[in-house]
Amino acid sequence: MRIALFTETFLPKVDGIVTRLKHTVEHLQRLGHQVCVFCPEGGLTEYKGAQVYGVSGFPLPLYPELKLALPRPSIREAVEGFEPDLIHVVNPAVLGLAGIYYSKSLEIPLVASYHTHLPKYLEHYGLGMLEGVLWELLKAMHNQARLNLCTSTAMQQALTEHDIERVQVWQRGVDTELFRPELRSREMRDRLSRGEPDAPLLLYIGRLSAEKEIDRIRPVLEAIPEARLALVGDGPYREELEKYFEGTPAHFVGYLEGEDLGAAYASADAFVFPSRTETLGLVLLEAMAAGCPVIAANAGGIPDIVTDGVNGFMFDPMDDASAIAATQRLLAMRAERELLRQNARVEAERWGWAAATKQLQQFYAEVLAVELPLAA
């Protein structure tokens, strides 16, 4: 198959969507398919054997890390030159409109996927009154597709309730080779805790943005004064968060990559994730693959990953006291915590990227009404 992948975000940006797309592109190419990625310009022309067609754009005012890449006539030439069997639009917004348009005008089957719960993001940027309008726009775009994919049963229900049709769950995936318990080290604990490796170590990894609700970790930190918090990542909310956490034992680490990132996950005592807007929460799977128990809001796609009391703990997303109690409970479980770590790893091992991509390949085949070779 030849697949034109339209996405509003790709390398060099770092986030959960890019992580999924990187592995998806790599595994599709391994399976013998040809992929061309249409994305905001980032300096790449190729990734893992796939073509990358960068479209110039400008930073989104509310979120400068994201670029708005506007559709333009040259995209049609590139699509026609690639001759795709199928167009897959990821989180259609601006550039994705070009993918939808060319699927219609060139009569190419369309698949769309939903990864970011944008209607719920609006309230964190003072635009909650536009939620209904955004759902109508999403419905208009997604219902052009022959198949809509999302990453959790909760999102499947939400999309269906808002009259988006033909919705299936594209299973989660995680790199269990990079993220593994063996990377746990005292040196990384020392680095993350700023010289206090014996203190209870709480960890957050991900975008530092308003919708992640990272500020809700502060009451947890204040209730457990001996604990230390490491925040790994960057984003538009970092400066405000640094001010908000001033005077607390919180360390803003910045980006980590590769085995340093894996060691950060593996070396923490608990991964704390307060966001209520997650379609999946890929970082939770990465933490679990590294054997790090999670403490997460009982919202969105998170219950698909976390089994309360087995591989982590969930808390009432509207109740700070619930988050504090869950964290205190986990940290107090010194003997049982090793079992939580093992259970977290076992859960993550069920969800490799190869299996997730083979499922996607099957979705593509069904849309195209073709049979896959038995060896695929």
pLDDT, tens digit, 9 for 90 and up, residues 254-298: 999 999 999 999 999 999 999 887 766 789 999 999 999 999 999
* Cis amide prior to 373 (ω within 30 degrees): no
Q: Which of 297, 206, 266, 272 is nearest to 16 (CA)?
A: 206
Phi-psi region of 200 (alpha: psi -120 to 50; beta: other; left: phi over 0): beta
Q: Domain locations in the chain?
A: 2-173+352-368, 181-349
Q: Which residues contact 367 (CB under 8 A, 6 or more apart)?
A: 86, 109, 111, 146, 147
Q: Which CATH superfamily is domain 181-349 in?
A: Glycogen Phosphorylase B; (3.40.50.2000)
Q: Where does the pLDDT of residue 125 fall: very low under 50, low under 70, confident under 90, or very high at 90 and above? A: low
Q: Look up the pTM and report it.
A: 0.77
- Domain 2-173+352-368 and domain 181-349, same fold? Reply is yes
Residue 111 confidence (pLDDT) above 90:
yes
Measure the CA angle with vertex 196, ends 191 and 197; round to 5°.
70
pLDDT for 119 equals: 59
> Cα 219 to the chain's mean position, in Å?
25
Beta bridge partners of 5: 37, 88
The Cα–Cα gap between 376 and 373 comes to 5
- Confidence band of 64 (pLDDT split at 50, 70, 90): low
Superfamily assignment of 2-173+352-368 in CATH? Answer: Glycogen Phosphorylase B; (3.40.50.2000)
Closest CA to 137 of 156, 152, 122, 125: 122
